[in-house]
Structure 1
């Protein structure tokens, strides 16, 4: 490799979702298109060897090799060569928290642990509670017998223990030809148990509640070295410029991990850290910042009309949808802590008991069986742990640095459960006595799991008042973001985290940026939407209120959508909400109602036409919002990421819908026309969005956008303009239209003007190519917004020297 890697950080990134159908070789083939679009770096989903058939790469089974299914290391090197030749960088997503154990034979480390138990050289690589007995593997079917009948299905196949398609190792000396499979199983270092026992009894830490993803102890230097060796080899060769770190909150010590990674890697590092509204990353972490869900909340929220809050809240209440977000969130978090994450809660309580301290009410009894029910003081401790985990104001505190968040969680838990005051005081005292000890660490690791599963994956599917706000890192209880708050947060990002990533759509978002942009328009016509939902619900309403309101918003937001896509989305949403059905406790009758709903609605010609008419009513406003939020994200402080395909309109829903193949051929054709000077209309092709994206990305790549200055419009429609200046001389200005339906209803821009920063030179709009006439000989320019935004609802201004 002879080329010099581009400097860090990149001007922007373009996220590609690799899979067997779109490999590293395919990425190299679209690199030229991405360069012409204006992207500074290609940002890849995980490329290390993942579980067989993986479609996303987060289920790594071998961190020492590039995935053969993606083309292997040769294809990776060819991609790097291609990008270097184009002057582009490369950013790779890495997964330090967990590895896949779904197919044990595919993961050599896990296979060795199963075979040799505590004597395995990899026994310390995984976060296993070895003191609790054999490693529990929850794979057996359970028809209410605890998996007893399934154990009779075990066989010996080619020297391995077999349960249907699953294969497990047999420890040396524990099996012989002709042995009874059940007897061989009882001699192993592991126990195959009912899948239902995983949530309450599992004795290895997982990724959230997914038993097939086992947590890795990267806090150990040798484990870090082995899991990161291949990645750091690329870095040493100058073949990677940035790393996106998945789920750092699950790590033992995220700050310590960040410092260790920084000592080994000098490039751009961003963490997939979810921040609460107003929260910032710990200042001591030597990283560029987060992957941008905080910016997503701010950018999307500023295009939401706060006047829609009361009417949409009233509609939700009328339909029977809960409207107290805090109550819903508390209920969901508590339920998660006491059910799907009960094993983690029990392990925390076990750590406390092992310290031989006497909690209020007497010493807890010993439990030799990790699955045995708690009693007495032990039960009180588990209740206190669960209540505390549900009470955190952020995803995770970082003791001792985040002591304030810890104290707030203890205070909230005590207010909600005064009967647990003694146990909470005891727990608080033990954590404060050793803020870096195992008890403190495990509580912090688990709080993020409870918040994510309880809030994002449950409450966001129950509290469906206005789902444009129900996004990763979002705050649905806050109805949008005032412009003043947006400007304050943008200025803070520029001052403190200017190299953090910003995003609008990702592989984890629950709906794409363009769906949210269209839904934002509902807040401007809440009465019309409420009337429509009442009509539609009378004809084909779902019997569960929260899902019913979610379904109509989804139908309008993603219209037109196929029955198959809508069916898959609603099936997942119903299970995530855990109200009438769930992943672990399905209700076939309700699921059939949900499954048949899309066909019933779409085959009703009259109702379908009504939905289409309503979608047409807000489609233009949705496109206006989409262009506005895209321009704002691409020009505001931070390093903007563009999710694959979102340079055109992209009306995707939650995964796997948002991982559908991208038609790059269509995009190439449109890009060629734009390169020829075409100024597209704002229409169904989405070319206008590509025009905004291309123009902004090229500007970012060509100019160093530093500084941030809010700009205020003046006149009767001033509240409908969002504008700011960038650059050391404030010579770049972004202008976007807010609340377009309200703007139209009030008579348009009329005499509203936007005073631009003073200075020598002439302003030009890069989107239209037009120059702006100065108002005076000294160059002072105050354009009328009715003229500036007559072709597009956004403008990107550059002041050029005379």
Structure 2
């Protein structure tokens, strides 16, 4: 089949990955305990959250305090080595999450580098490890309840103490009152509210307890990566997932240095690509962590015809429906209220420009970015587009914009260009993912990391084009449907996609429900009803935690730092009131029953697409069964592996589960697809669209991965059922005998037969 995209293809990556969230309650030993299960499931590599030493008690590991050792709370070096050996014996890879951009400074005593900087100031051997602006004199630490709380400080030995916070003292400064001792330190404790406006060290987004690391310095790179690279050199770690590359001073140079140090490792980066954006060609990496593929895989199950209906519903309820206006407002909130210190630091580099105009110009360019950041000089078109949009939005500061543009272009690797690029990603992420996605709630299934909520779904032809491009360009990129960062799990999105086929029914239901027990904030109200339908059944506690986070992230009526207590009490009471209203709860349950089966069809369809389309698929912990999790920390709940082992044993023995609420059929699909991918990799090289013929052809999505492998899934199942099913629709199969790997049954051309048992099929020519 010569027209298969870029066929044949080889790759250094694993056949697939399975992501686990390690924590003290699920440590290296626990991960080793599921290796046999994962191997039998068909997984190619275990993929873990960060495993270097982190803040005591950390539940996620991204708050690294010591990159020179495996985390003791997970089992330390002994536990890590035992896990690596277990994986090697199972012929599985080991992929580790690496955090190069920042370290936790929440507990100074836990971070010996930061503690040394606090003790010795700019004379510390580690002062250059962190991105600190010493021009103010002292390092500002925003931890006090207010500035007057300096009176509450005490001295305990060689530490300055403020309640639970303890800070090291500079040598010879321990005498006198606590306030006098404080005045002698290389740091100054200030009101926590001043952090957003006055902070003089770079942080991770708006989190002052995560201090940025200058990994662009070769010595700092070696100090922070030496241990992980030792594991790679020993063959114990086979792949690296790089967290938040947009925060680095020079991501391209970092990637090249990392590739030189780990020439054979599979490297993927947590880079969020906007539609039509590609990774810079100069990055020697295998791809992204898959959010771009997520948008495509989930979007093809959304019916674009219903966009006007959802817009009308949102407008009727009072939800803003101009996406770009909502996004611009949210980003401006970030530049003007959250990342003020960062904007000021950048603007100060334009010394010849009026201070106010410089700040406005810097903020406006970052608000105007169409992507997370430009990578100058190669990303010049993105920079130019942002400047042009800024000029249009703020002609009153065009002179400052001109000066900024000239300065950045003159030295694209200089401090000004570097800092504005690092910060633009923060503005976009905080403004779009963490604010807009909780305000623009027209159709929540689209509000996903890497998503484009203003684009109502993905067409079949677009899907094929993007899949073929992925196979041709980066066949070893990761693909995903659920991660620890997704706003909702793949199965919640799959169920919500059904609503795009029932816009009228859903609108009528939401209008009734809102009249009965609505939330007094339109965007949260619409999001809440979608969440109830998507995640049903859900406990009041889980729903409360989600809505509390959503309300604060939207920053409309309350925030994490500026609370509207009365509104928060009303939101906290809402889950109990709704679920305790028997009549209303019964009506919601009946509506969910109407869409549940179609949601299962969508879930199986998008999962099989992910597991078989170009790229290396990742299965997030527990999602081999139905998983109706919401945003973190809900999606980091413990996984019941005993249940999964028992179901897998039945599937391996030949059981063909029903499509029901056990989710066993999803595990069947995952097992058969991953096993085939691992055992017969030659079947997964290439890509060519295959188009069904007949009355219901638009409801089938099919493609070749090779001459001998065909994937076919059902889309828009409500419309398919309403139109009378598959009828005469057929798939033009090439000559030969075709067998469905999922069922073991021979397959003919008629889709009514191919998709008779399940809404998806994985066809292999000959015997599987």
TM-score (norm 1): 0.94
Counterpart of 1:341 (choices 339, 342, 345) is: 339
Equivalent pairs counted in the alignment come to 756
Counterpart of 1:284 (choices 271, 275, 282) is: 282
Counterpart of 1:26 (choices 4, 7, 30) is: 30
8 A contact 1:277–1:294 mirrored in 2: yes
Displaced runs of 4 or more, over 2 A = none
SS of alignment partner, residue 417 of structure 2: helix
CA RMSD of aligned residues (A): 1.0
Q: Distance in 2 between matches of 1:19 and 1:401?
A: 40
Q: Distance in 1 between matches of 2:655 and 2:28?
A: 32
8 A contact 2:747–2:763 mirrored in 1: no
Residue of structure 2 equivalent to 1:368 = none
Counterpart of 2:741 (choices 747, 766, 769) is: 766
What does the per-residue CA deviation read over 1:27-48, in whole Å, with 9 as the maximum and x for residues that have no partner? 0000000000000000011000
Residue of structure 2 equivalent to 1:591 = 568
Residue of structure 2 equivalent to 1:800 = 766
Residues 337 and 197 (structure 1), Cα distance of their counterparts in 2 relative to 1, 3 Å cut:
same
Residue of structure 2 equivalent to 1:116 = 120
**Is residue 509 of structure 1 aligned with residue 486 of structure 2?**
yes
Residue of structure 2 equivalent to 1:174 = 173
What does the per-residue CA deviation read over 1:407-448, in whole Å, with 9 as the maximum and x for residues that have no partner? 000011111111121111111011011011000000000000
8 A contact 1:8–1:242 mirrored in 2: no
SS of alignment partner, residue 693 of structure 1: helix
Pairwise CA distance, 1:132: 2.2
Residue of structure 1 equivalent to 2:97 = 93
Residue of structure 2 equivalent to 1:649 = 626
Q: Distance in 2 between matches of 1:576 and 1:214?
A: 22
8 A contact 2:200–2:341 mirrored in 1: yes
The equivalences for 1:239-278 within 5 A come to 239-266=236-263, 267-278=265-276
Residue of structure 2 equivalent to 1:163 = 162
Which 10-residue stretch deviates more, 414-423 or 201-210? 414-423
Residue of structure 2 equivalent to 1:60 = 64
**Is residue 751 of structure 1 aligned with residue 728 of structure 2?**
yes
Q: Distance in 1 between matches of 2:695 and 2:366?
A: 49
Counterpart of 2:703 (choices 721, 724, 734) is: 724
Residue of structure 2 equivalent to 1:311 = 309
**Is residue 84 of structure 1 aligned with residue 88 of structure 2?**
yes
What does the per-residue CA deviation read over 1:163-182, in whole Å, with 9 as the maximum and x for residues that have no partner? 00100011012222xx1000
Counterpart of 2:319 (choices 307, 318, 321) is: 321
Q: Distance in 1 between matches of 2:596 and 2:350?
A: 56
Pairwise CA distance, 1:7: 8.6
SS of alignment partner, residue 124 of structure 1: helix
8 A contact 1:199–1:339 mirrored in 2: yes
Pairwise CA distance, 1:339: 1.0
Counterpart of 1:790 (choices 756, 761, 765) is: 756
What does the per-residue CA deviation read over 1:490-509, in whole Å, with 9 as the maximum and x for residues that have no partner? 01000000000000000000
Pairwise CA distance, 1:334: 1.1
Q: Distance in 2 between matches of 1:521 and 1:799?
A: 33
Residue of structure 2 equivalent to 1:606 = 583
TM-score (norm 2): 0.98
8 A contact 1:249–1:273 mirrored in 2: yes
Pairwise CA distance, 1:801: 7.1
Residue of structure 1 equivalent to 2:4 = none
What does the per-residue CA deviation read over 1:51-82, in whole Å, with 9 as the maximum and x for residues that have no partner? 01100000000000101100001011111111
What does the per-residue CA deviation read over 1:690-715, in whole Å, with 9 as the maximum and x for residues that have no partner? 00000100111012211000010111
SS of alignment partner, residue 617 of structure 2: strand
Q: Distance in 2 between matches of 1:731 and 1:458?
A: 46
Q: Distance in 1 between matches of 2:213 and 2:623?
A: 34
Residue of structure 1 equivalent to 2:689 = 710
SS of alignment partner, residue 279 of structure 2: coil
**Is residue 696 of structure 1 aligned with residue 673 of structure 2?**
yes
8 A contact 1:309–1:479 mirrored in 2: yes
Q: Which has the higher contact order (CA 8 A, sep 6+)?
A: 2
Residue of structure 1 equivalent to 2:500 = 523
8 A contact 1:8–1:241 mirrored in 2: no
**Is residue 455 of structure 1 aligned with residue 432 of structure 2?**
yes
Q: Distance in 2 between matches of 1:600 and 1:771?
A: 52
What does the per-residue CA deviation read over 1:330-385, in whole Å, with 9 as the maximum and x for residues that have no partner? 110111011111111011011222xxxx33xxxxxxxxxxxxxxxxx201110110
Q: Distance in 1 between matches of 2:680 and 2:276?
A: 29
The equivalences for 1:382-421 within 5 A come to 382-421=359-398
Q: Distance in 2 between matches of 1:335 and 1:387?
A: 12
Q: Distance in 2 between matches of 1:715 and 1:596?
A: 52
Q: Distance in 2 between matches of 1:237 and 1:560?
A: 47
**Is residue 12 of structure 1 aligned with residue 16 of structure 2?**
yes
Residue of structure 2 equivalent to 1:141 = 145
8 A contact 2:84–2:94 mirrored in 1: yes
Counterpart of 2:53 (choices 49, 53, 57) is: 49
8 A contact 2:11–2:475 mirrored in 1: no
Residue of structure 2 equivalent to 1:776 = none
Q: Distance in 2 between matches of 1:468 and 1:461?
A: 12
The equivalences for 1:361-380 within 5 A come to 377-380=354-357
Pairwise CA distance, 1:579: 0.2
8 A contact 1:681–1:688 mirrored in 2: yes
Residue of structure 1 equivalent to 2:225 = 228
